[in-house]
A and B are shown apart, each in its own frame.
Chain A
Amino acid sequence: MGVSAPLLSIAGVIAAVVAIMVDGRRAVAIAAVLLAAGLAPSAATFGGAPGVAVLAGCAVAAVLLAWAGWLGGRILPWLSGLDPMIPAFAPPDRLFGPRSARAFGAAAAIPVASWVSFNVPVGQVTVSEGLLFPIAYAWVCGVVRLLVARTVEDLAVGVAMIGIATGTAWLLRSGTDSFGGAVLACTVAPLAAFLAGWLNGRSSRRARPLIEAEA
């Protein structure tokens, strides 16, 4: 049965759009899970079951490590740190906010990813197939999320997106080392989730006594 490139692209694009827009304390884990799910059809096409297993493992590890990091940040008492959700700076009020910038970036990423998928061959994928589109789109969205970041959480989401997109690109490469490369690239997402969870855990531990004191 042939591969439906538009179907693969739609799954990847939806996942990448959600990942670039998601906010909140669980943003890294949500982005990792959705992006892994969205790129899984592409991974299955060229990496088979092991390819899907890499992305599934990455998603599960991101969720578990985000939770473990949050728990560790709450329990371990000897470190203080920054809240990843608080913007590092406050820009003046504007008509378009940071999410609008992300949405604009996601729209601008479509022609970039399209050009890459039809001009840059990777491994066995020929340029006429356009199968690189969802991966290139997810990678560009990750970079956009990095470039318009206002919080440490934004940076972590961007890094996780780039890691998963690069890992899937390694699966498309289809060489002897493609599986190892995919695993290595995908480890970035769980690590980013752990870091964000850790910082969230520490800031939530610090916030509670403050609220109690104010009450």
Chain B
Amino acid sequence: MNPLVIAAGWLVLGLVASAVLRRRTARLVAIVPLVGAGLTFLAARSSTAAVPLGGLSAITGLDRAGQGVLIAAALSMVLVILLQPSIDPALGRSIGVVGAAATVAMSSSNPLVTGLVLSAAVATLVLRWIAQCPGRVTLAAGRVAGAGTAAIVAASPLLPLTGFTTGDRPVVVAALLATGVAALLAVYPLGGWAAGVIRTLRPIEIAPWMILLVPVVLIIAERIPGGVLGTGTPVFEHVLLVVGLGSAVWGGIWAVRGPDTMRYGRVFMADIALCVAAVERASVSPAITGALVILVTHLTLAPILLRSRGSELVWPRRAAWALLSGVPPSPAFWGRLLLLEALAAGNVGSTIAAVIAIGAIFIAAVLACAPRPRPVRTPAVPERRARPRPVKMPALPERLSNLAAWLLVALGIAIGLAPQSLAGFVFGH
């Protein structure tokens, strides 16, 4: 099946779901990513990986890793929707557009097509975020992420670099691509927008970016240095290594210091920044394997940890945080160990920065796991009584939610016991 057909499936279903579904049937939005995963599973596999460094050519198709990441992300998105206490049916539009864009971006070897579809995904998300909560932070997402996709689009007329592997042209292309990747993955100094939207919006609103878009951009970023970037390759790698490590340390520290509601988002951003840094430092195993293990771990645990604050699933959440802590044999331990191994092969500075980031993430996970002290009972004051109660789901969905959450925790434990095998099962390597 052609990737364009899969993308059309995502898009049409997303638009139809947002137009047809009502609040009572809103959870059926999960059909959009479920069908997307099914269509991707049926797609004919391409033998070559698509790297967006070529000229304007046909969509080459999905390779094994592309197919794996799209299916895993789509299934994770299904579970995120099913485990949310409440869903806005209009979210189907964003999920459909972002899923379609991720599919085309993963299968395109042309930077113009990749840049344009990523622009479409960012524009859809940003419009929804601004409509939900107009403000400086949501507009910043449009400014920075939009400028990032513009940088990828601007690199397209300069590619391929056949005959121009030296001089300023490869350096300019590498700088543009690094800017685009950093902005889309929300790596500092271009990552403030993501921290803002995580603080401002409900977790389900950010889920399409975290689950559908970030893994795809990370895989593309991993492939770019392998393409023909000439003298631009070191620029691309070193820029992303430095900003990735800095972002991982910053994200880890703020995961410890920041409020509970932002903790998972900060840990996710720190882990992704660490993956970017390690992959660009040494774009061979073990860095790639470590990044893939981290990706699979987050795709497995995000449905539990992206629940709104005040909702149930206390114990599955604690178990999920334990699996993210990095204590062996949690899957995050193996992923971060492989990333650290790759970074340690470079220089001491990278290793120290990575150790600080990993330590901060560990502390943040421990803080999230720890039971909160019970509030001291005081006579009820009017303000406290007026506070909205946590959203409660009906009994049956709550039981099903618990079951699904514990199954995800079990899957996380299984990933920890056989990290490379399961990452290989999903991504093919």
Q: Is the CB of B56 within 8 A of A181?
A: yes
Q: Is the CB of A152 within 8 A of B143?
A: no
**Cβ contacts under 8 Å, B139 to chain A:** 88-89, 149-150, 155
Asked whether any CB of chain A lies closer than 8 Å to the CB of B344, the reply is no
Asked whether any CB of chain B lies closer than 8 Å to the CB of A166, the reply is yes
Q: Measured between C-beta atoms, what is the minimum distance from B197 to chain A in Å?
A: 13
| Chain B window 330-372, contacts with chain A (Cβ cutoff 8 Å), 1 for yes, 0 for no | 0000000000000000000000000000000000000000000
Interface residue range, chain B = 20 to 34
Asked whether any CB of chain B lies closer than 8 Å to the CB of A143, the reply is yes
Q: Measured between C-beta atoms, what is the minimum distance from B193 to chain A in Å?
A: 12
Q: Is the CB of A162 within 8 A of B150?
A: yes
Q: Give Cα A119 to B164, complex, Å.
A: 12
Contacts A162-B154, A181-B112, A184-B112 given; indicate if A155 touches B126 (C-beta within 8 A). Answer: yes
Asked whether any CB of chain B lies closer than 8 Å to the CB of A172, the reply is yes
Contacts A82-B131, A173-B157 given; indicate if A88 touches B169 (C-beta within 8 A). Answer: no
**Cβ contacts under 8 Å, B126 to chain A:** 155
Q: Is the CB of B158 within 8 A of A122?
A: yes
Q: Which of A134-163 contact B (CB under 8 A)?
A: 139, 142-143, 146-150, 152, 155, 158-159, 162-163
Q: Give Cα A162 to B157, complex, Å.
A: 13
Asked whether any CB of chain B lies closer than 8 Å to the CB of A188, the reply is yes
Asked whether any CB of chain A lies closer than 8 Å to the CB of B147, the reply is yes
Nearest-neighbor residue (CB-CB) of A127 within chain B:
B168
Nearest-neighbor residue (CB-CB) of A115 within chain B:
B168
Contacts A116-B172, A149-B139 given; indicate if A88 touches B164 (C-beta within 8 A). Answer: no
**Cβ contacts under 8 Å, B151 to chain A:** 143
Q: Is the CB of A169 within 8 A of B142?
A: no
Asked whether any CB of chain B lies closer than 8 Å to the CB of A212, the reply is no
Q: Which of A142, A159, A180 contacts B119 (CB 8 A)?
A: A159
Q: Measured between C-beta atoms, what is the minimum distance from B130 to chain A in Å?
A: 6
Q: Give Cα A139 to B329, complex, Å.
A: 50
Q: Give Cα A162 to B153, complex, Å.
A: 8
Q: Which of B64-117 contact A (CB under 8 A)?
A: 112-113, 116
Q: Is the CB of A152 within 8 A of B127?
A: yes
Asked whether any CB of chain A lies closer than 8 Å to the CB of B303, the reply is no
Asked whether any CB of chain A lies closer than 8 Å to the CB of B297, the reply is no
Q: Is the CB of B154 within 8 A of A88?
A: no
Q: Which of A89, A146, A188 contacts B147 (CB 8 A)?
A: A146
Q: Which of B127, B136, B144, B156 contacts A185 (CB 8 A)?
A: B156
**Cβ contacts under 8 Å, B138 to chain A:** 88
Q: Is the CB of A88 within 8 A of B123?
A: no
Q: Which of A121, A143, A146, A195 contacts B169 (CB 8 A)?
A: A121
Q: Which of B112, B119, B130, B164 contacts A121 (CB 8 A)?
A: B164
Q: Give Cα A116 to B171, complex, Å.
A: 11
Q: Which of A169-196 contact B (CB under 8 A)?
A: 169-170, 172-173, 175, 177, 180-181, 184-185, 188, 195
Asked whether any CB of chain A lies closer than 8 Å to the CB of B36, the reply is no
Q: Give Cα A176 to B112, complex, Å.
A: 15
Q: Give Cα A185 to B152, complex, Å.
A: 12
**Cβ contacts under 8 Å, A195 to chain B:** 123, 127
Q: Is the CB of B56 within 8 A of A184?
A: yes
State the main secondary structure of chain A at its contact with B: helix
Q: Is the CB of B168 within 8 A of A120?
A: yes
| Chain B window 40-56, contacts with chain A (Cβ cutoff 8 Å), 1 for yes, 0 for no | 00000000000000011
Q: Which of B55, B127, B144, B154 contacts A166 (CB 8 A)?
A: B154
Asked whether any CB of chain A lies closer than 8 Å to the CB of B252, the reply is no
Q: Which of A150, A152, A158, A166 contacts B156 (CB 8 A)?
A: A166
Q: Which of B134, B147, B168 contacts A147 (CB 8 A)?
A: B147
Q: Is the CB of A146 within 8 A of B146?
A: yes
**Cβ contacts under 8 Å, B136 to chain A:** 88-89
**Cβ contacts under 8 Å, B130 to chain A:** 82, 88, 152
Asked whether any CB of chain B lies closer than 8 Å to the CB of A50, the reply is no
Q: Is the CB of B56 within 8 A of A143?
A: no
Q: Is the CB of B112 within 8 A of A120?
A: no
Q: Is the CB of B112 within 8 A of A188?
A: no
Asked whether any CB of chain A lies closer than 8 Å to the CB of B135, the reply is yes
Q: Measured between C-beta atoms, what is the minimum distance from A181 to chain B in Å?
A: 5
**Cβ contacts under 8 Å, B131 to chain A:** 81-82
**Cβ contacts under 8 Å, A139 to chain B:** 150, 154
Q: Give Cα A158 to B295, complex, Å.
A: 33
Q: Is the CB of A89 within 8 A of B135?
A: yes
Q: Which of A86, A155, A173, A185 contacts B143 (CB 8 A)?
A: A155
Q: Give Cα A155 to B124, complex, Å.
A: 12
Q: Give Cα A155 to B141, complex, Å.
A: 11
**Cβ contacts under 8 Å, B378 to chain A:** none
Q: Is the CB of A181 within 8 A of B135?
A: no
**Cβ contacts under 8 Å, A143 to chain B:** 147, 150-151
Q: Is the CB of A166 within 8 A of B157?
A: yes
Q: Is the CB of B143 within 8 A of A146?
A: yes
**Cβ contacts under 8 Å, A119 to chain B:** 168, 172
**Cβ contacts under 8 Å, B169 to chain A:** 120-121
29 interchain pairs (CB within 8 A)?
A82-B127, A88-B130, A88-B138, A88-B139, A119-B172, A120-B158, A120-B168, A120-B172, A121-B167, A123-B157, A139-B150, A142-B150, A143-B151, A146-B142, A147-B143, A148-B143, A150-B139, A152-B127, A155-B143, A159-B119, A159-B123, A162-B150, A166-B154, A166-B156, A169-B157, A172-B157, A173-B157, A185-B112, A195-B127
A-B interface, 7 closest residue pairs, ranked by CB to CB distance from nearest: A177-B56, A169-B157, A88-B139, A89-B136, A119-B168, A88-B134, A162-B150
- Chain B interface residues toward A at CB < 8 A: 55-57, 112-113, 116, 119, 123, 126-127, 130-131, 134-136, 138-139, 142-144, 146-147, 150-151, 153-154, 156-158, 164, 167-169, 172
